[in-house]
Chains A and B, each alone.
Chain A
Amino acid sequence: MDATSILDDAKLEAFRELNLLEKHRVESFKDWPFSSKSTCSIDKMAEAGFYWTGTTRENDTATCFVCAKTLDGWEAEDDPWKEHLKHAPQCEFVKMGCAEKDLTVEQFLNIFGTVVKTNISKNIKDFKTKFVKDNEAKLKSFTHNQS
């Protein structure tokens, strides 16, 4: 069984970066102020699509892997699904409203597509911002040198 689970991990490891799987989202929580008994335990957060984006100073920050909504200021009695729906009603994952294990493979593939596309768009946007910034700096030094 160990061998297969290692194999399993290897297959899915490629998706860790996208926090696509509940398991990986659970593992993303390096720190979390609430116990496993509270309504927003790590397991329940991960089930509702959140992965940890906190820091040592602000350890209660989490982000949805589909809509990228980041929420902090959680309280022990908050329900992650309800908060997700309240703050990001457009999120495809929340709209389906069920945990990973209850999604059909087809639904999951759709979510997967959305996540990959969001990721592409985000990376391209980041690159563009950096590219424009770098080149504007160059332009500035060019015009300054001349005058």
Chain B
Amino acid sequence: MVDQDNSPQQGAPADGDDERVPPMQAILDNPFLLLFIGVAVPAVFYTIWGIMEIAAIPIAK
């Protein structure tokens, strides 16, 4: 973009810096891992749990 500035900032890593990416950043950088989380969490807590509750409703006397 227009303001893609190339001047290195103080605190910004120098070129060739190969310090390891922190694990949480690595997770956030992985869209497919996030996709798994985003489908699994609601599928388990909402859809599956909800249907199990319906299945457990007793038959009227």
| A, B in one complex | no
Please give the residue numbers on chain A whose beta carbons come within 8 Å of chain B beta carbons, in ascending order: none
Please give the residue numbers on chain B whose beta carbons come within 8 Å of chain A beta carbons, in ascending order: none
